[in-house]
A and B are shown apart, each in its own frame.
Chain A
Amino acid sequence: MLEVTELHTYYGFSHILHGVSLTVNREQVLAVLGRNGVGKTTLVHSIISFAKPAGGRIKLEGHDITGFPAHQIVRRGIALVPQGRRVFRSLSVLENLTIPFRCRTEGTSRSWDIESAFDAFPTLRARRDQRAGNLSGGEQQMLAMARALVSNPKVLLLDEPSEGLAPLIVRELSDVIKELAQQGMAVLLIEQNFNMALRTAQRILVMSRGQIVHRSSPQELAENQEIKARYLGM
């Protein structure tokens, strides 16, 4: 579904991504784990075109979308739940869900609209007319998810969705993400939370200094003490 090959991204003169390649298939959650500052957000930003990659290719369903403006990439079916949530603070909850572009859905995957997003996150329905800036952290995370979903994406990019959430809410979030994948979405889950990645993903990549240094199933990674110690500080 989403295919990234040999991505190189710079901020000014600092070389952040050193040839990152990955593929996310539909009905799959692919997690990327890594410590702070290794380039996870830069990877997501390169895919959604906030940062312009200097080299490499990004393909969505076989079509090259490298270098497209962000809004066109989104309109082709990639949605982002960014690090730090970034809900539109001065808009009401309902307005946050009204403005995203709605992609057409074909066939198999579940189709989303504002009502079904409210069904999935009932708290948001109760707060529909409140300013998003006044929501709690957990509610803002739900809103950021709902905002991504109402655009009916084929690929969902999640950048540290568990950051700052209580363990119970992280669990719920993990279940929601798994369900989304089961319903046909391709999910790229960026995490620092090892357990969250472990219980959510089918495959895990470990990132260090702008490179993927390990690829395996969650079980293999859980048993690989060396990788965990070296790259994840565990």
Chain B
Amino acid sequence: MEFWIIQSLNALSFAMLLFLLCAGLSLIFGLMNILNLAHGSCYLVGAYTALSVIAWSDNFFLGLVSGSVAAGAVGFVLQRFLLQRIYGRRLLQVLLTFGCMFILGDLAIIIWGADPTTLRKPEGLTGAVDLGGIIFPKYRLFVIAVGITIGIALWLFQEKTKWGAILRAGVDDEQMARAVGINVPALFTVVFILGTALTGLSGVLGGPFVGVYPGVDLEVLLLAVVVIIVGGLGSMKGAFFGSLIVASLDNFGKALFPELAMFTIFAPMAIILAVKPTGLWGRVL
């Protein structure tokens, strides 16, 4: 019993991390039809920026903020100065964002070196708590709380505010959104910044347990792609439940059948892709 509870909590904390990682990717895809392959780089930039800021200020929360801001700034430059020029041209977008991933990865090596590091956990969230006999790391509970809070906030924003309605209108019919006077190019830029900043946040949060190292950008990109294939592209619900599914498969797979490793997430992904190509909660494209 204890095994199951601990593994479930582990899966949940990993799921929340995945959700923060994928929410931005999904948001951006849903509105702009851009699969941003430099998404993992925003994770990397967020984590490394936080590493430096925490080393300098000794404040994890300053690290969270600066990591998100740095990733959002990368997103801004990418969208405003590069992607906006090739709007609607899928192949160029893929090549451009993929290229940016390598450039940003190399820049990170120049600035922060190639040694794997982990972020220091914030003061007060080190160690474990006793949940009625079950010992669980405090930091992971913190990640769960942040993930759920941001998930609810995003949901409220999307469903209950005028800005959320404008965003959904843009997803429904971008051209008609222009025709009711919405400044769609500006909306694109804002959403891109928001999406990449969220990813930067996930990089900082993941820093203490996933770590940050050259190549983590590609690894998290791969995971994110699996999540949105399972959950469905362009839907926030899909990103949320897709993250839960993938994290559970990954966690229980590794705990129960360690020899199968990646198989436990890629096999279900392939099955879902074959049976329901839009993903479980995806929009029909």
CB within 8 Å of B: which residues of A? 48, 50, 69-71, 74-75, 79-80, 82, 86, 88-91, 95-96, 98-101, 147, 151
Contacts and interface: CB of A to CB of B under 8 A. Distances in A.
Nearest to B182: A71
Given A88-B169, A90-B171, A91-B165, A101 B176 contact: no
Contact of A151 (B169, B180, B183, B184): B180
The secondary structure that dominates the A interface is: loop
B165 A70 contact: no
B274 interface: no
Contacts, number: 64
B176 A71 contact: no
Nearest to B186: A71
B57 interface: no
Contact of B180 (A50, A69, A89, A147): A147
B134 to A, nearest CB: 41
The secondary structure that dominates the B interface is: helix
Q: How large is the interface on B (under 10, 10 to 19, 20 to 34, 35 or more residues)?
A: 10 to 19
B60 to A, nearest CB: 38
Q: Which of B173, B177, B181, B182 has the most CB of A within 10 A?
A: B181
Nearest to B162: A98
Nearest to A144: B176
A88 to B, nearest CB: 4
A91 B168 contact: yes
Interface in B183-209: 183-185
Contacts of A147: 180
A88 B172 contact: yes
Contacts of A101: 180-182
Across chains A and B, which 10 residue pairs bring their CB atoms closest together, nearest first? A101-B181, A70-B178, A100-B180, A74-B181, A95-B165, A88-B169, A88-B172, A80-B179, A86-B176, A75-B181
B166 A99 contact: yes
B70 to A, nearest CB: 31
A99 B182 contact: yes
A90 B168 contact: yes
B149 interface: no
A58 to B, nearest CB: 15
